[in-house]
Structure 1
């Protein structure tokens, strides 16, 4: 049995909730190994669907002059729970019987019906882990492409954009839901909190594709998104505490603020001493991967440390990229990371789209109608609340404030996390949960084309002025 199969078998044992006995006899061991092989087959087939959808969606999006990442997200929706059911996950409410992959496994490799649920849960878990690795690699790559000195130059402005981009939609959403819709305080606060998120993964990917990542606007957006991510973690901790106990754990809140700030600042400070050691180690190694493997070790270690102190792993990966951006080997390392990103990052974007359930947009359902009305309100607040953050930029230096505001709009997977926790805790009822999901869908999908439009308009104005 391979090491990978051993991992899958362990995952299977954690997910078997059907009362199956523990492994004891040779025949039972053989059956378990067969299930492990089937899980591997399910993962491989899921990856085939994911990569095909990702490439087809990206190419079609490129043909109509839109960012490829938007095509990947749309392709994810098509192959996901909303349409083809090629890539679906248990947390969306899907059953094993809904999965095309499980159906194929039953017909082709002999998956037994009694084991279908366990195999479905296990192969979905593996895809989810690969997607998480994808976003970690993406943020590491973005950190490598970002210029720490430029980020420091826009630090104050990025902080202002982030704070306003969190406070404005939170207050607008919470107050509006309570005053206009008569919603109880805790659900209104939770929904308002879902408006504060910004998906740095989606925005930074679009900026990179537009060639604007190193522009002043790109650096402000990325810097603000990083700060926004830290603030989002704090907000999520607060509302999660509200959901569990009905009151805020002040000590935990203080801990999150201090640990997040210390982690980012400490990483950047210590990185100045680490850079020379990293280059020296890379130069002494003689085998393949002498540069990229130590870099990945550092990135995963930083992601682990961030996760261990209750921060987001992607924050650690981004910090690792920022640190290594200062090394002499940065360009070479950047080129070596690209193929790894090409393998893992599409899994993340397709998975985000695959989890989106468009059935909440069906107006024929009475529950959805109320949700649609609330969603319309949330979408307006979500867009305006982030756009005004761009106009908070001060100074005489000319910047594209509209592009900055638009760059903060997409909620992406971060907003889905809020919706998921709210639904699991019972804080969000069906209409409000549907409204939050619709807000996440639309803000995620409209931001990339709007961002392209904002930069294109600026370029045209510059050309006209220059002429």
Structure 2
């Protein structure tokens, strides 16, 4: 068997796919090692392991060791130590190395997206549909407050204090509305609070936030590109998102019985997990095809199968798959964060730091007050609900990326949004844990940790 990726020949005319594979494999080795070291360190310090995975991403990413870097953070192939090693082994030309770097980065990002899809599928499975319905009004109140308060205060503050034009200010205000359901849900599961009343309100509100955030993003992106809002597109998103989630919940009472019969009829290995993942991926595809989000479809798939008799067995079968893929997502989120924008000696960073300070205050304050809009549940831990809505994570980075691509954001404002995303993502997990420690949840039910966490 030959290994062209270790050939001493210059690889300009060779098939580069083996070299791309080598880069992906080496990147995964680094990511898995970093995720375990970071998760174990966080666990020993009594922090949620997901925080350790994010911190590990910072260490191996663009901010420190440059082992795993991505084009989205502005890095070039020469900035990656893994790419440098591959270039040295294979004697690659710079143009060839760039193509390999872009392909390798895309593969790792796809694996990370699969990880968050699996995570949201698990969260849907662990979510009690009946309880989600019970906390529906409270979740809507939290989500609407968490959307409108940061959008209004952020936009108005940027226009008033920083004299920004309306469109960039609206775009930055819209970026403040996001909530990272992936990060919050993982922390809730690690804390055993996913099925508490607080956990269900947070998850429900985060899903609503996700849907509303997509609609807001479509509106402001249209505004930035054309100077006017495409009303038909916005109406399509609203109707599509509402129909999608409502239809998924209604479908659950019918499809889960069909799923059980299908699983019982299959006699080969993977008779439960393969049909389940196929369904989850199909729902994720539908969510993406409807211009919503793939993770929303995966969450809906979990809700559909939540009441299935095979749910507990399916949860156990998914754990090793989640152990493999979910850490890739959280480590890459950290790896993409570029902390060099904190350097005040760079002139354009100074304005960004001032804007970032304002955005961070608004981002935390407005989500915290959303927890106090919960009504009708005596003794509810409103502080925990507020902190659960704080992390922006990958959702906020999407806003920043699209804003920069449309030309709506200049460099200081883009820097400010990225810093806001970093701070809210890293601050929320420890404060969420502290909030739950200070006051027990309203429900005595807890759920075991997912993704292999004890």
* Alignment TM-score, normalising by the size of structure 2: 0.94
Map of 1:16 onto structure 2 = none
Map of 1:82 onto structure 2 = 63
Instruction: Determine if contact 1:138/1:345 at 8 Å carries over to the other structure.
Output: yes
CA–CA separation in structure 2 for the residues paired with 1:301 and 1:391: 37
Map of 1:122 onto structure 2 = 103
From 251, 264, 284, the counterpart of 1:283: 264
Return the offset for 1:56.
0.6
Q: How does 1:33-72 map to 2 (within 5 A)?
A: 33=15, 35-72=16-53
Range with greater deviation from structure 2 (277-286 or 267-276):
267-276
Q: Secondary structure at the match of 1:391?
A: helix
1:73 aligns with 2:54: yes
Return the offset for 1:29.
12
Return the offset for 1:270.
1.4
Map of 1:23 onto structure 2 = none
Range with greater deviation from structure 2 (253-262 or 106-115):
106-115
1:423 aligns with 2:423: no
Change (3 A) 1:39 1:313: same
Change (3 A) 1:107 1:382: same
Q: Please list the CA deviations of residues 199-241 of structure 1 after superposition, one character each: whole Å capped at 9, or x if unmatched.
A: 0000000000000000000000000000000001001101111
Superposition RMSD on alpha carbons, in Å?
A: 2.0
1:455 aligns with 2:440: no
Instruction: Determine if contact 2:400/2:417 at 8 Å carries over to the other structure.
Output: yes
Change (3 A) 1:421 1:396: closer
1:368 aligns with 2:349: yes
Map of 1:335 onto structure 2 = 316
1:218 aligns with 2:195: no
CA–CA separation in structure 2 for the residues paired with 1:257 and 1:70: 33
Map of 1:12 onto structure 2 = none
CA–CA separation in structure 1 for the residues paired with 2:377 and 2:424: 30
1:311 aligns with 2:306: no
1:176 aligns with 2:164: no
From 375, 395, 398, the counterpart of 1:394: 375
CA–CA separation in structure 2 for the residues paired with 1:74 and 1:114: 32
From 296, 311, 329, the counterpart of 2:277: 296
Q: Secondary structure at the match of 1:397?
A: coil
CA–CA separation in structure 1 for the residues paired with 2:345 and 2:95: 36
Q: Please list the CA deviations of residues 253-296 of structure 1 after superposition, one character each: whole Å capped at 9, or x if unmatched.
A: 01100000000000111121111110001001011100000000
From 316, 336, 355, the counterpart of 1:355: 336
Map of 1:96 onto structure 2 = 77
Instruction: Determine if contact 1:38/1:111 at 8 Å carries over to the other structure.
Output: no
CA–CA separation in structure 1 for the residues paired with 2:377 and 2:406: 47
Map of 2:448 onto structure 1 = none
Instruction: Determine if contact 1:43/1:126 at 8 Å carries over to the other structure.
Output: yes
Q: Please list the CA deviations of residues 360-418 of structure 1 after superposition, one character each: whole Å capped at 9, or x if unmatched.
A: 11111221111111111111100011001000011142210000011000000000011
Instruction: Determine if contact 2:404/2:414 at 8 Å carries over to the other structure.
Output: yes
Instruction: Determine if contact 2:73/2:336 at 8 Å carries over to the other structure.
Output: yes
Instruction: Determine if contact 1:76/1:352 at 8 Å carries over to the other structure.
Output: yes
CA–CA separation in structure 1 for the residues paired with 2:81 and 2:377: 57
Change (3 A) 1:299 1:443: same
Range with greater deviation from structure 2 (364-373 or 197-206):
364-373
Following superposition, which runs of at least 4 residues in structure 1 exceed 6 angstroms of deviation? 27-30
Instruction: Determine if contact 1:169/1:192 at 8 Å carries over to the other structure.
Output: yes
CA–CA separation in structure 1 for the residues paired with 2:109 and 2:328: 9
Range with greater deviation from structure 2 (200-209 or 93-102):
93-102
Return the offset for 1:28.
13
Q: Please list the CA deviations of residues 93-122 of structure 1 after superposition, one character each: whole Å capped at 9, or x if unmatched.
A: 111111111111112244333300000000
Q: How does 1:178-217 map to 2 (within 5 A)?
A: 178-217=159-198
1:106 aligns with 2:118: no
Map of 1:141 onto structure 2 = 122
Change (3 A) 1:78 1:292: same
CA–CA separation in structure 1 for the residues paired with 2:251 and 2:346: 56
